[in-house]
Structures are given as structure tokens and as C-alpha cells.
Chains A and B, each alone.
Chain A
Amino acid sequence: GAGVSQSPSNKVTEKGKDVELRCDPISGHTALYWYRQRLGQGLEFLIYFQGNSAPDKSGLPSDRFSAERTGGSVSTLTIQRTQQEDSAVYLCASSLAASGWETQYFGPGTRLLVL
């Protein structure tokens, strides 16, 4: 009965370095989402996976951002050549299916600080 987990909880990196953020969704959930939350702001959608379908990457802010989901479960969000404006909390959510009614369950997020 574990919820969505994310690692690391916090990450401090230097500008220009690459970072990988991990998300473990709830077992059996076919849909997985990544959001970004800048300080004092709401959540911005980044990318969405549904089963084996091609991901919806429409929210990715630049080509430095990419994500994959292996085996329909764990997902990794990669940010290459990090910039200071990438500093934010990155939240992952999963849901049983991708339909509008399904509740999205969120993980605790990864706080990324780019120095």
C-alpha cells in the first residue's frame, strides 16, 4: 500500500551539471505525470506517460529536459546542463488510468537547487 515515492528528496547541483530525478509510482498505476513547482507558484505540467503509449512531452520547457519510464513503472526525469532557473520542486504523480476522473496521487517531490 505504499504511495508514490521520489528520490532524492533534495538535490543541490552546480550550473551545467546533469541531474536525474526518480519516481516510483503506485503499483498498478498506468499513468505517470511529472510537474514542476517553482517557489510560490502552482504546478506546471512537464510530461505524461500512459501505459506503453508514446509520452506526451508537450510541457517540457526545453530540450535539456527528458524523461523515460522503464517497464511501465519507474520513471526518471533528466535535466541536462542545469541552469539556475531549473531550481524548483519536481513532483511526480500517478493514477490508475488516464481518464479525467481518476485521482492523481502525488509523491513528496524532489527539491532541486542549482547553484
Chain B
Amino acid sequence: AQTVTQSQPEMSVQEAETVTLSCTYDTSESDYYLFWYKQPPSRQMILVIRQEAYKQQNATENRFSVNFQKAAKSFSLKISDSQLGDAAMYFCAYRYGGSQGNLIFGKGTKLSVKP
């Protein structure tokens, strides 16, 4: 069975600094996708960034980028120039590449941003 592990329950970063959130996963599949979702106190899950497993190039979305290490089954999220609005729970998620669609989530990392 696929599992997703986030080993950092809480992280803190100073405004304008860079922070990296860790995520590891376990799967025997070769076709899959990885996601980072943000959940602010409003509870609304928002997609931050996603990565196809078959792509070696790391995905980037503005201040957000990932470090995808397929052999190590690692998928970390880097937030550059952190802003107060980045404070939230961040969830790493895995999804099999076939038609079976549900996401498998880690337990999340609570990110605090200090002014």
C-alpha cells in the first residue's frame, strides 16, 4: 500500500526567508503524481504545486518549488521569500497514475511565518 510521510509536524520561518518542508512516500508503482496542498485556517485545500513522476525536471510555481528525488522517494517543498500569507498547514499527497483517482495524504506540516 502506498504511504506518505511528513516528518515535520511544525516548522517556522522568518518573513522573506526560505523554508523547506519534507515529504517521503512509498510506492511500487512507476506511474504516479505528487502534490503539495495548502490548508489555511479557512479549511479550504488549495493546490500549491504538482509533479509527474516521469518528469525529472523539478516543478516550480513562482515562489514555490520542489526537489523531487525519485530514487529516494522524496518530494520536498521549498518556499522562497516567505510571506505572512504562507502560514498554513501543508499536505503532501500521492496519486496513482491510473484511473483510480483518490489522493493519499501525509499528516501535514504546520508552517508559521514570523514577521
Instruction: List A contacts of B43 (CB < 8 A).
Output: 89, 91, 108-109, 111
Cβ of A65 to closest chain B Cβ, rounded Å: 15
Distance (whole angstroms) from the CB of A54 to the closest CB of chain B: 13
- A106 and B105 contacting across the interface, CB-CB below 8 Å: no
Complex interface residues of chain B between 42 and 77 (CB less than 8 A to chain A) = 42-47, 50, 52
Q: Interface size on A (CB < 8 Å)?
A: 30
A31 within 8 A of B: yes
* Main DSSP-derived SS at the B contact region: loop
User: Which residues in A have their C-beta under 8 angstroms from that of B115?
Assistant: none
- In the complex, A59 Cα to B95 Cα: how many Å? 15
Are the C-beta atoms of B101 and A99 separated by less than 8 Å? yes
| CB < 8 Å neighbour of B102 from A56, A91, A111 | A56
Q: With A42-B106, A59-B102 known to touch, is A100 a contact of B45 (CB < 8 Å)?
A: no
Alpha-carbon distance between A43 and B45 when the two chains are bound, in angstroms: 10
Cα-based distance from A41 to B89 in the complex (angstroms): 10
Within the complex, what minimum Cβ distance (angstroms) separates B24 from chain A?
14
Given contacts A98-B101, A99-B99, A99-B101, contact A42 B107 (CB under 8 A): yes
Cβ of A43 and Cβ of B52 under 8 Å apart? Answer: no
Q: How far is the CA of A91 from the CA of B50 in the complex (A)?
A: 20
User: Is B103 an interface position by the 8 A CB rule?
Assistant: yes
**A103 touching B50 by the CB < 8 A rule?**
yes
Known: A48-B100, A48-B102, A101-B33. 5 other contacts (CB 8 A): A35-B105, A98-B99, A100-B98, A101-B52, A104-B103
Q: Which residues of B contact A (CB under 8 A)?
A: 4, 6, 31-33, 37, 42-47, 50, 52, 91, 95-108
